[in-house]
């Protein structure tokens, strides 16, 4: 229904196909490598989003917006890095991924004392306070409902003023948990049940906007932080025709299902096939609410014409760059996707695990490869020899980006890197 009433962004990317890095790009308008937020921050991390970085919430605060996040934060779990220190008025959720706890499958064979050395108990945080110090499976079953109820209450309480609401659900990240209301309801197993509950959550939030007559005043964007974690098999989901999944910069990892919804403003039932990325949301929101952009460099650009379906609108970027860690692994220019030589993980066509227990990846490599995604969405046909002029331009752009953000594959130090916040 959201897609029918809104606009599908078919070629919408994240900055890196893993938790923390992806969220850093979404909230700051910057490639995460610029901020020093790489990969997924665990319970032992002593760093997080720097206090000088400007988030979407802080952009909205300029214009008097009420701001809230209900869900997974994952940009530093120590108090200096939590959402209230980054422009949010309210926070309720997990500070990092819901598998970062002593029931992780990687330590399930160990006695609890040993497990806790690797994965301490998972806390639930409200505002700056730990309200549950050791989450249980039963607690996780309640998360989707709790996030949704708090989101609805926030909208109701702030219906007469502008608001920014961020709901990064903990599900469908493994381990999968679902409330009793949705258990065994999908007919396709636990993953289907969890998807049903997240779908219910989205529908409930949209219906709240309709009931309060806010739907025509509210921009809603639905997206994901990365593709499926393929080693988890029947708990992972699917990337469809896209190659690979989470943890790679093939499109199965970093190209996300995305819908923009704003009845009466965004044309219903339409599709945008121009490339766009999460880094573009901050400057787009700033444009829409007439807020100032940060004083420091950001990487995103205003994509309002793409969201609004302006005839002939093109991406404001000549190219997007796809880092994994500090490696510039790939880039997208128009329909073209260029992979630089790098190693990556793959299931190699094998099925993943079952019932929440993953199988092992194998490591492999790709050489310099050019794909035309309009003709080859699965990145299977290397056409590098047929398009030397495309390759040359993309390599020029990549070299410029390396001088700015660095690239450990080519041992280049970037001059535009900023440090993360540290304890």
Catalytic residues: 19, 74
How many other CB atoms sit within 10 Å of the CB of residue 51?
10
Q: Tell me whether the omega of the peptide bond preceding residue 172 falls within 30 degrees of 0, making it cis.
A: yes
**What gap in Å lies between CA 168 and CA 14, rounded to an integer?**
14
Q: How far apart, in whole angstroms, are the C-alpha atoms of residue 31 and residue 25?
A: 5
Pairwise CA distance, residues 129 & 133, whole Å:
10
Q: Is the dihedral of CA 77, 83, 89, 90 positive or negative?
A: negative
Report the distance separating Cα 27 and Cα 306, nearest Å.
19
Residue 385 DSSP code: G
Q: Which residues pair with residue 345 across a beta bridge?
A: 363
- Give the containing element (helix H, strand E) for 282: helix 281-289
In whole angstroms, give the CA distance from residue 66 to residue 148.
Answer: 17
Q: How far, in Å, CA of 6 to CA of 321, rounded?
A: 27
Nearest Cα to Cα of residue 363 among 377, 348, 341, 375: 348
DSSP H helical ranges for 36-132: 56-61, 112-118
| C-alpha Rg value of the chain to the nearest Å | 21
Q: How far is CA 328 from CA 64, 249, 339, in A?
A: 38, 10, 9
Q: Which residue carries 């806390």 as its tokens?
A: 123
Instruction: Say which residue the tokens 């760059």 belong to.
Output: 321
Task: Report the distance separating Cα 203 and Cα 206, nearest Å.
Answer: 5
What whole-number distance in Å separates Cα of residue 170 and Cα of residue 97? 7
What whole-number distance in Å separates Cα of residue 123 and Cα of residue 97?
11
How far apart are alpha carbons 240 and 274 in whole angstroms? 20
The CA-based angle 84-298-31, given to 5 degrees, is 85
């Amino acid at each position: 229904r959201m897609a029918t009433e809104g606009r599908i962004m078919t070629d919408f990317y994240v900055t890196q196909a893993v938790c923390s890095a992806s969220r850093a790009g979404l909230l700051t308008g910057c490639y995460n490598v610029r901020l020093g937020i790489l990969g997924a921050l665990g319970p032992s991390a002593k760093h997080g989003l720097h206090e000088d970085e400007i988030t979407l919430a802080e952009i909205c605060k300029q214009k008097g917006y009420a701001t809230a996040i209900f869900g997974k934060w994952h940009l530093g779990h120590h108090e200096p890095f939590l959402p209230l220190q980054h422009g949010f008025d309210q926070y309720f959720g997990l500070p990092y991924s819901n598998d970062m706890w002593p029931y992780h499958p990687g330590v399930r064979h160990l006695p609890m004392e040993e497990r806790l050395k690797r994965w301490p108990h998972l806390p639930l945080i409200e505002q700056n306070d730990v309200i549950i110090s050791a989450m249980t499976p039963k607690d996780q079953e309640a998360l989707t409902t709790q996030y949704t109820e708090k989101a609805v209450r926030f909208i109701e309480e702030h219906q007469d003023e502008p608001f920014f609401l961020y709901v990064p659900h903990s599900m469908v990240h493994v381990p999968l948990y679902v409330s009793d209301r949705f258990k065994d309801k999908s007919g396709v197993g636990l993953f289907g049940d969890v998807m049903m509950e997240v779908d219910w959550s989205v529908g409930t939030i949209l219906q709240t906007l309709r009931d309060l007559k806010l739907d025509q005043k509210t921009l809603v964007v639905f997206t994901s932080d990365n593709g499926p974690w393929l080693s988890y098999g029947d708990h992972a989901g699917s990337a469809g025709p896209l190659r690979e999944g989470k943890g790679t910069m093939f499109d199965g990892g970093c190209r996300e299902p995305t819908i923009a919804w704003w009845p009466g403003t965004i044309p219903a039932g339409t599709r945008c096939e121009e490339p766009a990325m999460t880094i573009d949301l901050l400057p787009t929101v700033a444009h829409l609410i007439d807020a100032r952009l940060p004083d420091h460099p950001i990487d995103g650009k205003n994509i309002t014409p793409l969201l609004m379906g302006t005839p002939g609108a093109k991406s404001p970027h000549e190219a997007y760059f796809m880092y994994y860690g500090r490696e510039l692994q790939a880039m997208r220019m128009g329909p073209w996707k260029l992979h630089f030589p790098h190693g990556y993980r793959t299931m190699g066509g094998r099925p993943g695990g079952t019932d929440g227990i993953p199988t092992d990846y194998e490591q492999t490599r790709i050489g310099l490869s050019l794909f035309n995604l309009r003709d080859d969405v699965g990145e299977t046909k290397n056409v590098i020899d047929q398009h030397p002029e495309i390759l040359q331009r993309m390599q020029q752009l990549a070299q410029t980006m390396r001088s700015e953000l660095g690239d450990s594959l080519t041992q280049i130090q970037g001059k535009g890197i900023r440090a993360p916040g540290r304890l």
